[in-house]
Structure 1
Amino acid sequence: MSLDTALIGHWDSSPFDFGVMEASELEFLDDGQGCGTISNALGDQVAPFSWHCPELGTLEVRDEFGDVERYHYTVAPALPPYATDPIPAVRFEPFLFYAREYARISTASG
């Protein structure tokens, strides 16, 4: 199983979701496990997943039901709306857990 260490850690879409009522968070652990959280006024919805990278820039996510989705990603600094300095970020194509861009919150993993 191949994991891109650049993804490991906690990511949050809120810096890129200025003015919206919903935000997403991702946690990529160094053992190939993770979870996605969607937060809004009604609460949080958490979905566990497993992940790996069949090649650099390609992410495969297997949800708790065994369904597999493939995403292309880029890890690079990005400038959120109304920010003055770029921050560490990842961008997914297509959207992953209802967001396209996430800011790195921490590199800690478990």
Structure 2
Amino acid sequence: MERGANMLPFTERVVSLIKSIPHGKVMTYGQIAKLAGSPRGARQVVRILHAMSRKHQLPWHRVVNAKGEIAIKDTEGSDSQYHFLCAEGVQFKREYVVDLNAHQYYPDPQFEH
């Protein structure tokens, strides 16, 4: 994912998009991938989040799947994401499913490719 000290352009755009998600909002993996220039790159977004969240202090908890679901499989991770989102005022349609109509973030068109 990284080439020396420089990130690949897609990775840079993904990191920038994730950092842009405001408090109380979420984006989907696929939405981020599309805006970063790879419409079919949702799994790559997952890998970037996993590998770079700590290093780049990414608000990883603000990224959910296309249905608004918390997609982390382990209970500790999914519970953490749920609690972080609740603390930001994010509403859930049902347990672990974010109300995307109320909380999905659409960044400036500058990210469009």
Q: Which has the higher strand share?
A: 1
Q: Which has the higher helix share?
A: 2
Same fold (TM over 0.5): no
- In the superposition, the TM-score normalised over structure 2's length comes to 0.28
